[in-house]
Structure 1
C-alpha cells in the first residue's frame, strides 16, 4: 500500500474508533447509565480533527471545514490553538516541529490538510516560496508600501543629505538609507 493509502487507512481507523465511542455514548444515554468517563464535553481527539477535513483522493487537496483565522484553518486541542495544516503534519509524521520550523503547503491552498501536500521548512524557505508563487507582494503592491517606484528612484538619485530627502517625502532617514544602500526595493534598477 502506498504512503498516502496508509495515511488514509490510519485516518479511517481513527474515525471508526470515534464512531464506536459516540455510539456507545448514545447507547449509555439511552439506557440512562451514568459513567464518569462520559461526563462533560469530550476533549478534542484526532478523530474530531479529521471530521473537520474534507478528505478526498490521496493526491487531492483536503480542505479544512472548521474554524479559520485569516485564510488558515485553526484547531483547538486542550485549550491550545494550532494551525490545522500544522496539526495534520504533526499527526501524520508523529513529530512536533520547533517554532523555527514552518509547515508549508506545496499546493498553495492555505486550507489544505493533506499531509502529502505539506513539508517542513524555515522562515527563509517559506518567504522565498511565497515570492516564487506570487503570494507575497513587494514594492508598491505591498500592503505597507509608503512610496511609489518613481519616488524610490528619485530618492536614489537625490544627492542631498538623507534627512532632507526624508523630510521632503514624509519618511524617516533610516528608510532613505535603506533605499539608497539597496536593502529594500531591491527589485528596482537605477
Structure 2
C-alpha cells in the first residue's frame, strides 16, 4: 500500500487538474505519443495504467486501459475503462477521431506532399535519414516513419523506385491500429 501512496504522491506534485474536464493532467514525463509515465520499482509505467490498477482493480493481460476523455496524459480513474484493441478503435471511430490527413484539413503536417515525394525519391536513391531531416527541418524519426510507411501512407515507392501519389495507388485498407 505504501508503494501505491508513494507513486500517487509523486504524481500529484506533477499533475494539473483541469477543472472544466476533470482531467488529472500528468505533465512531467510524457512519452513520444503523449502518455504520462512514472518510474515505479525501476520500471517506467504509463500513469493511466497505474491509476486504473490502484483505484479500480487488476488489469487482465492483453487488455488496454482506455480514456473516455481522449486525453492521453490524464490519469483520473473516473475517465478510464478497460477494453480490447477493437474496443479502443471503435471508441475512436465513434468520436470521429479517425480522420486521416487530407489536403485542406485543419490538421496541418510540417511537410507538404511535394516535400514527402522528394524525400521518398531521395530515400529510394539511398539518402540517409539524418541529412534529409536536417534539410527539411524535421526530426530524424519523422523521416524514419516516412521510410517505413508509418506516415504519409498514401505515397509509395514501388520497386522501380518511382514515387507514386495517392491517385496512382489503390485505396488503402483501413483496420484497427496495433496498440
| TM-score (norm: length of structure 1) | 0.50
SS in 2 for 1:90: helix
Any unmatched runs of 5+ in structure 2? Answer: 104-149, 157-164
Unaligned residue ranges in structure 1 (runs of 5+):
1-13, 19-43, 156-178
Provide the C-alpha distance between the structure 1 equivalents of 2:97 and 2:18, rounded to a whole number of angstroms.
25
Q: Secondary structure, in 3 states, of the residue corresponding to 1:54? A: strand
Q: 1:79 aligns with which of 42, 49, 54?
A: 42
1:89–1:57 distance in 2 versus 1, CA, 3 Å: farther
Aligned to 2:167: 150
* Residue 90, structure 1, aligned to residue 98, structure 2: no
Structure 1 or 2, whichever has the larger Rg, is 1
| Runs of 4+ displaced beyond 6 Å | 139-142
SS at match of 1:50: helix
d(CA) in 2 for partners of 1:130, 1:149: 24
Query: Does 1:115 pair with 2:44?
Result: no
Q: Deviations over 1:122-157 (max 9, x none)?
A: 1111122223334345586872413554223xx4xx
SS of match in other structure, 2:11: helix
1:184 corresponds to which of 156, 161, 173: 173
The 8 Å contact of residues 139 and 149 in structure 1, kept in 2 or not, is answered as: no
For the residue of structure 1 that corresponds to 2:62, the secondary structure is: coil
Q: 1:124 to 1:113 in 2, by over 3 A?
A: same
In the other structure, the counterpart of 2:9 is 47
Q: Which residue of 1 aligns with 2:112?
A: none
Task: Please report how far the alpha carbon of residue 109 of structure 1 lies from its aligned counterpart in structure 2 after TM superposition.
Answer: 1.2
- Go from structure 1 to structure 2 and tell me whether the alpha carbon gap of 1:184 and 1:77 turns closer, same or farther (over 3 Å shift): same
Note the 1:1-190 alignment, pairs <5 A.
Answer: 44-55=6-17, 60-70=22-32, 71-93=34-56, 95-138=57-100, 143-145=151-153, 146-147=155-156, 148-152=165-169, 155=170, 184=173
Report if aligned partners of 1:64, 1:111 keep a CA contact under 8 Å in 2. Answer: yes
Give the helix-richer structure, 1 or 2: 1
- Number of residues paired by the alignment? 116
Q: Distance in 2 between matches of 1:185 and 1:49?
A: 37
Contact 1:107 1:117 in 2 (8 A): yes
Contact 1:139 1:185 (8 Å CA) reproduced:
no
